[in-house]
Structure 1
Amino acid sequence: METNLSLLQQEKWRIIDQSSLGPMFDALQSFAMDDTLCTSVGAGVSSAVARSWVHHQTIVLGIQDTKLPFLQDGLAYLKEQGYRFIVRNSGGLAVVLDSGVLNLSLIFPDTEKGIDINRGYDAMWALIKEMFSDFHVDIEAREIEGSYCPGSYDLSINGKKFAGISQRRIRKGVAVQIYLCVSGSGQDRARLIQQFYKLAKKNQETKFFYPTIRPEVMASLTELLNTELTVQDVMLRFLNVLKQMSGRIYGEPLSGKELDWYAVNYQRIVDRNEKIIVDI
């Protein structure tokens, strides 16, 4: 555990809290923000960054999802259910974001030795275990078959997934990102993605693998810990652990060059989405 926590032991953590910006805060802005912070941290403009973010009623698709044979049918269903959708600029498959899902990004400089991919994942796993250590539960990191966006660093309790971790590397910066299903129904979120794939794939053979969703293998932390948790509760746990691990934590918005980098990154991801997703 000590080795995994070492990446969290930064001299300074810059905090950017975007967890309460409301429904108008678009997910495209978040991915542009992390790309910008990767560039800034990698260039030595910023210290390590811890960013929190929440998006309302949004489905984040992976590039692979855009290859589904009947994608427009799946997207029409999501729109009918009141969800927006975007395509992220990193790997993975579809995930659900809503007001009960807290996203965390840890952005580190990629040192001369380099940060091994698994070390980044392990650091996030260690952080989450530390955040919920008072519950004395075993938080595992392994693929949960039947979950949406399955991967070897799915986080689960008693075989039920509540979080997934991804990574993005740009210009000597490493962003380790996690979504945490804090409250609400994990099964309801899974059913939404289950129906999306049913309509967008229609049992047709495909070049890429798409998961067969089993809603019963997904849950929120509120359900798993049998304790009413809010995004604000989990934010406090997050900040407390970072404070314990670092010399100091401080808040600072984008400034100077970062604002220019952000404008470029945001336009790039907007353009990419406009090319991929046709209006329905």
Structure 2
Amino acid sequence: MAEYPDFSEFSYGYALVDNLARSGSCGGLAGAPRFISLLEEGSAGGGFDVALNFVAWPFFLQFKIPQIMRRRSGGPKGMPPGFNTPYFRMHLRTERVNSSGMTQHEQLMDLERENPLSVFYVTPRFHTTEELDQYYLTQRVHDESEWFALSGFDPSAPLTREPHRIAYENAPTISVLQSTPLPFQQRLRFKEVAVRIREMLTGLAPTEPARWLNELESSIATVTSGEARDEGMNTRAKFYPKRENSPRGFLREGEKNEFHSRLQRIARTVRTRIDAELILAMPAIPPSSTR
């Protein structure tokens, strides 16, 4: 009989996103980015301030609850060579076709193509409620998880619409795409992800907020075969605030509210159509620049 963690995918995903947004933990990484959870953006407070020269990198998480494997059975579906029990096995959604005529994995690969180096499967390397509670209270859920970058899959050799699984151990050793079977090269720990995000932010040129929103919206609409347009994402943002009338280079209150409203619609579309969570990474704010 299959054994799974004591907690649900929703509980795990919520705890990870909350920790990510609140902890600021990047293992002591210099110049670490800050993370904005769009699960929280709809709450009171009006959301983060939006600079006229906007810099943010969107990335996307698909949470996975793994199967706990305690038997040493062999064969293509058994324990990979070099593994020890117990180990974890993460199932990819490569069989069931959704309303867009694609599997979830195919949609995530399209999302990766539209937003390179920005899509991850995230899965715990623990399985008890007690561990989840402990890591949540110490703001370490994201640190105690495995991050599998979709860039590790070869787009020229797409996965068939059959069962596919990634096996991994708690220890930072190898992970195996069992249907191949080949080592999976893009298994990361959060500190490695944070380094990648910092590098991406460093290479981004500031852009006008409306242009940034329109480009993000367009990439999501492409992945969802236009379904995003049916979610109310059909107005092109046009913010042209006069710099001298804006407080210290930020959008004015009404413009900021419109920005957040449209960003929330995009996040809801990602959540409902792709079953992924949109997170924003933004440069850390130096103490001297706080408003």
TM-score range, shorter chain: under 0.3
Relative to its length, the structure with more helix (as a share) is 1
Q: TM-score, structure 1 length as denominator?
A: 0.26
Relative to its length, the structure with more strand (as a share) is 1
Q: TM-score, structure 2 length as denominator?
A: 0.25
